[in-house]
């Protein structure tokens, strides 16, 4: 069924039917479980697909369980204890430190020490590896590098915390070399800035984006990393799981879609026309809403403000927020920064994935050292074999 032929209902009706809070509804939309579009009669409000709401209610009724945004109507929510990050009062914290404040001055290496709980500097005296030249774009080079590390590195099980943190630093260090093509022993963000020919001021914006990308709680790629870490696998294998999951359309693929819209709007120099054309086709304006934080993702606001975007790019934010009634997402902030810095086609993804790697390594370290077992089970819902006998 296409977007135009669906029937659409307002938010108040959705909340009443499902019996959930607005944050839960936003989670459904961000996970693709309920389609949404701006209300043609009131562009600051959204309408939601009635068929998707009915489908959730039907599944909930069949299994006799309340609707759950985290795992769907009939799945229980997994809970994993962590000391790495948490959100509170519209802010994101890395081990108790405000992530936005940390990103104002910290390098990615310094953020890693916070996220990894490292007293020592795990990046000290790391030696460069010469054979880091892989074919393809940043995504392909990153995956190739991690696949090699997954095969070569020792298992994480049974090793000391200091040894694992040192290996985590080596994984991140080599990954950046693979993406940036090697070179002088500069800070991680400076190596990327060098290959992308950025000024010192713009290198600082890149540094901020990397730190803000590091962690955002438990999503599918992070869960993939922790599940792999639970097996005792090498840290490179854990991060490879995250990169693989990030390639899906409901994870890092959202950033790709947002970046395409930003390019389209920037080329036309008319954000309003580009947005209205999408709405006329029954399509969403990507990059707005989808955050479970009331008022929007604080990282998005901080990065957009720090970028000092030119008027055509800021118009994308103003027009999108006006038409959807929802705040800019962190995906949009990254895409705008990528456009502003004139990064290559996969540049914004590379920044996001490298930043996330720092956080995934924190999750892999925590799971390998002290994480409780992650348990899940399959519930069979197929044909009853007894009825076929």
pLDDT in tens, 76-120: 456 788 999 998 888 999 999 999 999 999 999 999 999 999 999
Last residue of a domain, one of 63, 88, 108: 63
Q: Alpha carbon of 283 to those of 38, 244, 261, 267: distances in Å?
A: 9, 27, 11, 19
Q: Is residue 370 part of a domain?
A: yes
Shared domain check, 363 and 263: yes
CATH number at residue 124: 1.10.580.10
Of 121-130, 211-220, 271-280, 349-358, where does the model show the most confidence? 349-358
Q: Is residue 384 part of a domain?
A: no
In the predicted model, is pLDDT for residue 331 greater than 80?
yes
Contact 94, 101 (CB under 8 A): no
Task: Tell me which of 371 and 283 has the higher pLDDT.
Answer: 283
Shared domain check, 97 and 37: no
Q: Is residue 386 part of a domain?
A: no
pLDDT in tens, 19-56: 888 878 877 876 678 888 888 887 777 888 888 888 88
Of 367, 361, 362, give the one whose Cα is nearest residue 230. Answer: 367
Mean pLDDT calculated for residue range 201-217: 96
Q: How confident is the model at residue 196 (pLDDT cuts 50, 70, 90)?
A: very high
Residues above pLDDT 70, as percent of the chain = 90
Shared domain check, 275 and 161: yes
Instruction: Please provide residue 90's backbone torsions phi and psi, each rounded to the nearest 5 degrees.
Output: 70, 20
What pLDDT is recorded for position 389? 60
The distance in angstroms from the start CA to the end CA of the chain is 37
Q: How confident is the model at residue 63 (pLDDT cuts 50, 70, 90)?
A: very low
Shared domain check, 142 and 25: no
Shared domain check, 318 and 169: yes
Q: Alpha carbon of 112 to those of 13, 210, 215, 280, 301: distances in Å?
A: 44, 11, 11, 45, 22
Q: Where in the sequence is the domain holding 44, given as residue range(s)?
A: 8-63
Domain count of the fold of the chain = 2
Shared domain check, 47 and 151: no
In the predicted model, is pLDDT for residue 388 greater than 60?
yes
Task: Using DSSP, state whether 231 is helix, strand or coil.
Answer: coil
Q: Is residue 185 part of a domain?
A: yes
Shared domain check, 278 and 139: yes
Q: Is residue 1 part of a domain?
A: no
Last residue of a domain, one of 63, 87, 108: 63
Q: Count Cα neighbours of 338 within 13 Å in the Cβ-side half-sphere.
A: 24
Supply 67's token pair: 């609707």
Shared domain check, 87 and 54: no
Q: Is residue 21 part of a domain?
A: yes
Beta-sheet strands, E only, within the chain: 8-10, 36-39, 42-49, 85-88, 91-94, 97-98
Of 262, 280, 281, give the one whose Cα is nearest residue 319. Answer: 262
Q: Is residue 321 part of a domain?
A: yes
Strand partners, 97: 94
Shared domain check, 58 and 163: no
In the predicted model, is pLDDT for residue 62 greater than 70?
no
In the predicted model, is pLDDT for residue 379 greater than 60?
yes
What pLDDT is recorded for position 155? 97
In the predicted model, is pLDDT for residue 64 greater than 60?
no
386 Cβ contact partners less than 8 Å away, ≥ 6 residues apart: none
Q: Is residue 278 part of a domain?
A: yes
Contact 351, 175 (CB under 8 A): no
Supply 258's token pair: 């947002």
Shared domain check, 34 and 91: no
Shared domain check, 113 and 262: yes
Shared domain check, 31 and 107: no
Over the range 196-212, which residues count as b (16 or more CB within 10 Å of their CB) and which as e? bebeeebbbbbbbbbbb
């Amino acid at each position: 069924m296409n977007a135009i032929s669906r029937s659409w209902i307002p938010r108040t009706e959705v909340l009443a039917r499902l019996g959930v809070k607005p944050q839960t509804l936003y989670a459904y939309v961000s996970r693709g479980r309920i389609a949404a579009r701006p209300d043609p009669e009131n562009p600051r409000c959204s309408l939601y697909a009635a068929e998707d709401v009915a489908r959730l209610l039907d599944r909930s009724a069949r299994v006799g369980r309340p609707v759950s945004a985290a795992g769907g109507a009939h799945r229980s929510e997994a809970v994993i204890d962590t000391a790495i990050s948490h959100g509170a009062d519209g802010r994101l914290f890395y081990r108790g430190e405000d992530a936005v404040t940390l990103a104002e001055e910290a390098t990615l290496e310094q953020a890693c020490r916070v996220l990894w709980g490292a007293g020592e500097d795990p990046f000290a005296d790391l030696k460069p590896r010469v054979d880091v030249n892989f074919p393809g774009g940043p995504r392909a080079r990153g995956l190739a590098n991690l696949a090699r590390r997954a095969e070569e590195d020792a298992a994480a099980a049974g090793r000391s915390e200091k040894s694992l943190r040192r290996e985590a630093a080596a994984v991140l260090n080599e990954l950046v070399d693979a993406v940036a093509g090697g070179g002088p022993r500069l800070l991680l963000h400076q190596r990327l800035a060098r290959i992308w020919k950025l000024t010192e001021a713009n290198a600082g914006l890149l540094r901020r984006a990397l730190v803000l990308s590091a962690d955002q709680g438990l999503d599918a790629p992070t869960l993939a990393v922790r599940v792999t870490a639970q097996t005792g696998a090498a840290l490179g294998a854990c991060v490879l799981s995250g990169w693989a999951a990030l390639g899906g359309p409901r994870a890092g693929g959202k950033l790709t879609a947002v970046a395409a819209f930003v390019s389209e709007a920037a080329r036309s120099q008319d954000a309003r026309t580009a947005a209205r054309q999408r709405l006329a086709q029954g399509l969403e304006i990507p990059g707005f809403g989808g955050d479970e934080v009331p008022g929007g993702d604080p990282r998005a606001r901080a990065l957009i403000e720090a970028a000092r975007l030119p008027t055509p790019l800021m118009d994308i934010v103003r027009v999108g927020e006006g038409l959807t009634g929802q705040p800019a997402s962190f995906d949009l902030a990254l895409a705008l920064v990528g456009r502003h810095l004139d990064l290559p086609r996969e540049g914004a993804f590379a920044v996001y994935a490298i930043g996330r790697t720092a956080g995934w390594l924190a999750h892999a370290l925590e799971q390998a050292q002290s994480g409780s077992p992650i348990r899940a089970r399959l519930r069979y819902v197929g044909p009853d074999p007894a009825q076929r006998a």
